Amino acid sequence: MDPDAVAKAFVDHYYTTFDTNRAGLANLYQETSMLSFEGVKIQGAQSIVGKLTSLPFQQCKHHINTVDCQPSGPAGGMLVFVSGNLQLPGEQHALKFSQVTHSFSNCRSTCVLLSFLNRL
Entry pTM: 0.86
The backbone torsions φ and ψ at residue 38, rounded to the nearest 5 degrees and listed phi first, read 55, 40
Q: State the residue range of the domain holding 108.
A: 3-119
Domain count, the chain: 1
More confident residue, 40 or 109: 40
The backbone torsions φ and ψ at residue 5, rounded to the nearest 5 degrees and listed phi first, read -70, -40
The enclosing domain of 91 has a CATH number of 3.10.450.50
Cα separations in angstroms, 27 against 42, 74, 85: 16, 23, 25
pLDDT at 17 over 80: yes
More confident residue, 68 or 110: 68
The mean pLDDT value for 73-102 works out to 89
